[in-house]
Amino acid sequence: MDKQAVFRIDGVRKSFGPVRVLDGVDLTLRAGSVIVLMGANGAGKSTLVRIISGVYFADEGRITLSGQPFEPATPAEALRAGVVTVHQNINDGVIADLDVATNLTLDRFNGKGAPFFFNPRRVRREAEAVAARMGLSFDMNASIGDLSLADRQMVAIARAMTHEPKLLILDEPTSSLSSAEADRLFAFIDRLRERGVAILYISHRMSDIRRLADTIVSLRDGRIAGVFEGPEPDYEGAVDAMLGRSSSQSQVMVKAADRPVFQAKDIVLAHGAKSFSLSLGSGEIVAITGLVGVGKSMLGEVLFGLQQAVAGAMTLDGKAYEPASPRDAISGGVFMIAKDRATNGIVPGFSIFENISLPFLKRFANVSVLNRSRERMTARDQIKSLGIVCRTERDDMSTLSGGNQQKVMVARWLAQPSKLLILDEPFQGVDIAARRDIGAKLRASAAGRATLVFLTELDEAFEIADRILVMSEHTIVGEHRNENLDVDALLAEITGQQRATA
């Protein structure tokens, strides 16, 4: 029996000046079903979500919720109607200066119908009930600003659940979550399905899509390019429709290292962890994969001088390497692209060319005077090389899409020669087209340096790496050349099944 249509979009169009962003979009979201929406940067996903959530008005078309016209004038009206959006930017869903309890109950105790007097005990009691439904066990008095990015994400999702949604929109919700936290979110989505909530899930992560999707919808150039349904929707077909071309990727032509560039011997990352050694060679790309929290980012911080290892020694080009700070690392030719670009990467008030040159201002200066023309020329070269979509190198970073912001972060560190380039989750929150652009550029420019990439998603490692290492419990537990891989063995190392059954 066909499930009831909760939300319908018919012929929606939206333009900004002469640019048509959405061009006749039709979409039906049904009770208890998950539609995964895929689309490259600029396809219109964000505009469609903003229309649904009351930020923009559609120029043409009709939208109905439970059979009634749906035309929210504000996001608050959309919320009251039962259309709830959890945005990719965590800061849009939580307030860092408030505690967990207040964040979880903020919408219940503010606005129309809120109690006249503020009762801290009631706030805490209501917050604990919300947390219990989501399986959260946070300290209700903890400040949101003190929580990890993953924990803030879970609080934002839990807060959204207090609205009893008819339609729930989740924008890349697992990009900051560990495997266990993602599983908890998936279980909660399953419960929402059973309650008849329609879910629009925006993601390009294969693991999410295969776990959740009833239907995959591909959006390209403001139009629906393909709809894929069935017990196992055709993921590769959906990617092809999204990109407008075949996405089949030839196997990486695995390269052997020319010579050792970086070596670590008997490194101990954390007290009680096993030691490991690591060798990275010129011209090769090595991916380290593993679950969230196993020590990948910690290793990156040690290599970049942000913290010290408990034990062990490192060499760079055969010489002792002991960076006391990122400045030491950069001076030695070790660069790192940190994850969470919004916090650790971009400077929103700066232009593209200023963001690219920021760590290397001395190299663009003549007797302490910045050579702006050289800065802009370098940025223009990188914009062309990486396919960054913008008007000029003077554009403010805040005007770029997430994928293009990430490309700028990669451009920053590729614009100067390095001995070791470290990338921590470089594809987090970007679409498949941007991911493959970045990956192709990294492989094309790999000669003369060692490249180390930390990744949680295995398909991303398969697309880029010459070697894949597995990290678990702050140590390396497996190494694989990226050809004729035994994927089952690799997965067993990631999940710890081999050790558990040994």
Whether residue 158 is found in the same domain as residue 236: yes
Say how many domains are in the chain.
2
Burial of 237 (0-12, 13-18, 19+ CB in 10 A): middle
pLDDT for residue 162 is more than 70:
yes
Query: 202 with 297, same domain?
Result: no
Q: What is the pLDDT of residues 230-249, one digit of tens each?
A: 888 888 888 888 877 665 55
* 59 contacts 14 by C-beta, under 8 angstroms: yes
- CB atoms closer than 10 angstroms to residue 341: 20
Q: Write down the pLDDT at residue 247.
A: 52
Are 213 and 308 members of one domain? no
358 shares its domain with 395:
yes
Mean per-residue pLDDT over the chain, rounded = 86
| Residue 250 resides in a domain | no
Whether 79 is covered by a domain: the verdict is yes
Specify the pLDDT at position 402: 78
Could you tell me the CATH number of the domain that includes residue 188? 3.40.50.300
pLDDT at 286: 96
pLDDT, position 130: 79
Entry pTM: 0.66
Is 255 among the domain residues? no
Last residue of a domain, one of 212, 243, 274: 243
The pLDDT of residue 320: 97
24 and 137 in one domain?
yes
Residue 256 falls inside a structural domain = no
Residues 296, 239 within the same domain? no
Q: What digits encode the pLDDT tens for the residues 320-375?
A: 999 999 999 999 999 999 887 666 677 888 999 999 998 888 888 877 788 889 99
- Region 126-143: mean pLDDT is 81
Is residue 58 located within the same domain as residue 157?
A: yes
Q: Do 14 and 95 have their domain in common?
A: yes
Residue 344's pLDDT is 66
68 with 109, same domain: the answer is yes
pLDDT digits 0-9 by tens, 396-413? 998 888 788 889 999 999
**Which of 436, 456, 388, 409 shows the shortest CA–CA distance to 42?**
388
Highest mean pLDDT among 275-279, 365-369, 424-428: 275-279
HSE-CB at 182 with a 13 A cutoff on CA atoms is 18
| Rounded Cα distance, 82 and 153, in Å | 20
257 located within any domain: no
Q: Which of 221-225, 265-269, 324-328, 400-404 has the lowest mean pLDDT?
A: 400-404
Whether residue 267 sits in one domain with residue 213: no
SS (H, E, C) 173-233: CCCCCCHHHHHHHHHHHHHHHHCCCEEEEECCCHHHHHHHCCEEEEEECCEEEEEEECCCC
Residue 154 and residue 39 share a domain: yes
φ/ψ (deg, to 5) at 471: -115, 140
Please indicate, yes or no, if residue 338 is contained in any of the structural domains. yes
Q: What is the pLDDT of residues 29-72, one digit of tens each?
A: 999 999 999 887 678 888 999 999 999 999 999 999 999 999 99
Question: Is 104 part of a structural domain of the chain?
Answer: yes
Q: What confidence tens digit (pLDDT) does each residue in 470-488 have?
A: 998 899 999 999 988 887 7
Does 293 have pLDDT greater than 90?
A: no
Q: Which residues pair with 64 in a beta bridge?
A: 8, 69
Residue 144 belongs to domain spanning:
5-243
Closest to 216 (Cα-Cα) out of 36, 44, 404, 49: 36
pLDDT band (50, 70, 90) for residue 501: very low
297 and 173 together in one domain: no
Length, in residues, of the chain: 502
